[in-house]
Amino acid sequence: MSSPVTSAFAPLSAPKGGVYVVFVGASLKLAPAAQKALVGAADLIAAAAKTASFRGKSLSSLDILAPSGVACERLLVIGVERDKDKKETDFAELGGYVIGKIGASKAATIAFFAPNGDWDAAGAADFMMGAHLRAYRFDKYKTKVKPEDKPTTLHLTIGVGDVAAAQIAAQARKAIVGGVELARDLVNEPPNVLFPVAFAARASELKKLGVQIDVLDEKAMAKLGMGSLLGVGQGSAKESRLVIMRWNGARNKKAKPVAFVGKGVCFDTGGISIKPAANMEDMKGDMAGAACVTGLMHALASRKAKVNAIGAIGLVENMPDGNAIRPGDILTSMSGQTIEIINTDAEGRLVLADVLWYVQDKYKPVFMIDLATLTGAILVALGAEQAGLFSNNDELAARLSEAGAATGEKVWRMPLGAPYDKIIDSKFADVKNAGGRHAGAITAAQFLQRFVNETPWAHLDIAGVGMASPSSEINQSWGSGWGVRLLDRLVADHYEK
């Protein structure tokens, strides 16, 4: 569902009702443009700040109701004095913070001017993006909502110095917002609505943006030898699917694509190795990796990214039927490698093994990045603040880290190596799908690496950030849409031609 906010850029004007937002630093002085629009408000702000001990600290606010001599319902003063450790303003975060403070108002004007001068158009566009992401709601299944609790649409006017430049900068941000919102929607949907075939249909809607879609059913996957992926889904009444999304936006249509692979376990009971009942409902979000890849493809296509890109999502349901795989079973993957099943709850890596092999073999990509809510072990290691990054390529890993720092979707590189790889050697097959409690996130990544040849590859374990992650200034949703902004930034900075 989209956020209940409409936004537009305009030249800054004087207040005409609603909420009027201005920014100040430690001096509490307004930018010249804001001061001109708010004649006589400087003394009012100074007096109110003294009473409230407001000092203009970053992400603090002073809310003046029915301000005397100012033609608005509320004058909202936002502090932007940066901390010593913060090198620059995070405008997306600022936009989200402001929306949180505006609340249920129907109209607001933002005087988007820095206390000591103009902010640039890119900053205004990021502010707009953060505002929309903060306002996102997923309440389509609530039928009994009190009138006072129903969301109202906020009409946001962002006053800037250069309207045309802000509008141009905002075009790509709107595409990213659309991608994040799509990813959030997919993660938030209940599993009886978003099962593999239904997910494939939702991904197929990207055709209207110019994305080419191929959907492989179980018969097609069996013909390809995808025994690993199909093994996971064989206990479910819902059929499995593999969806390939292709965006050909590079000037050279024959240029090698970049590739993104998503784990799409639409519901994970754990299979025969069944999970405890407590919090099992959260396992509807075990497809957050596939949701991110779908949202990313939406963003790339919407902004006409100059890149050839592949998005591949393996969609299954892991259920404990009498036909489900058992611990002790041996599956044969598309690569020909055999896999001993130790724990049927280590299923995501089985899905990814076949999809990774298929993508590298068919499309010969520049790189592959997979995203998966893969292990609880990564939560033990990193909590819900950063995703675990594993890679066979230092340059790709460094670029992901840089994109994470730029977007706030941070990653932390974890080790890979032969000693960890030995842990998943099997007595009866080429590899086993679980290596025990120790180094669980690492051995899961080592398993995936066995299905990657020389292609530069990175694995992002997003179990801590893809769902039920801590709320932030730009995300109040259970499904975060994490990874769309990170990977879009990676592509924009390094791979568009």
Is-catalytic flag, 173? Answer: no
Q: What is the pLDDT of residues 203-243, one digit of tens each?
A: 999 999 999 999 999 999 999 999 999 999 999 999 999 99
E strands, 319-416, are 330-332, 338-340, 368-372, 387-391, 411-413
List Cβ neighbours of 430 (8 Å cut-off, separation of 6 or more): 337, 338, 339, 450
Cα 219 from Cα 274, distance rounded (Å): 27
Is-catalytic flag, 275? Answer: yes
Q: What is the pLDDT of residues 260-271, one digit of tens each?
A: 999 999 999 999
Q: What is the pLDDT of residues 116-166, one digit of tens each?
A: 877 999 999 999 999 999 999 999 999 888 877 777 899 999 999 999 999
Q: Angle CA(3)–CA(6)–CA(12) in degrees, nearest 5?
A: 140
Please give the pLDDT value at position 104.
Answer: 87
Please give the pLDDT value at position 497.
Answer: 83
Report residue 195's pLDDT band, with 50, 70 and 90 as the boundaries: very high
Q: Look at residue 2 and tell me whether its pLDDT is greater than 70.
A: no
Cα end-to-end span (Å), the chain: 32
Cα 376 from Cα 345, distance rounded (Å): 11
pLDDT exceeding 90 applies to what percent of the chain? 93
Options 263, 349, 410, 432, the catalytic residue: 349
Please give the pLDDT value at position 150.
Answer: 76
DSSP three-state, residue 220: helix
Rounded average pLDDT over 427-432: 98
Phi, psi of 232 (to 5 degrees): -65, -45
Q: What is the pLDDT of residues 54-105, one digit of tens each?
A: 999 999 999 999 999 899 999 999 999 987 766 677 999 999 999 999 998 9
Rounded average pLDDT over 471-488: 97
Radius of gyration over every alpha carbon of the chain, rounded to an integer in angstroms: 24
Q: Look at residue 442 and tell me whether its pLDDT is greater than 80.
A: yes
Report residue 490's pLDDT band, with 50, 70 and 90 as the boundaries: very high
Please list the residues that pair with 431 across neighbouring strands: 339
Cα 172 from Cα 493, distance rounded (Å): 13
Cα 419 from Cα 435, distance rounded (Å): 12
Cα 297 from Cα 331, distance rounded (Å): 31
- pTM of the full predicted structure? 0.96
Please give the pLDDT value at position 147.
Answer: 76
Which residue is associated with the tokens 């109701």? 65
List Cβ neighbours of 409 (8 Å cut-off, separation of 6 or more): 387, 403, 465, 482, 483, 485, 486
Options 29, 275, 304, 413, the catalytic residue: 275
Beta pairing, strands 113-114 & 117-118: antiparallel
Distances in whole angstroms, Cα of residue 477 to Cα of each of 141, 149, 298: 15, 17, 19
CB atoms within 10 A of CB 416: 18
Which residue is associated with the tokens 């004095």? 81
Contact 89, 130 (CB under 8 A): no
Query: Among positive and negative, which fits the CA dihedral 160, 162, 165, 167?
Result: positive
Please give the pLDDT value at position 87.
Answer: 66
Q: Give me the DSSP letters along 276-288.
A: PSTTGGGGGGTTH
Choose among 331, 377, 325, 388: nearest CA to 354. Answer: 331
Q: Give me the DSSP letters along 241-270.
A: EEEEEEEE-SSSTTSPPEEEEEEEEEEE--
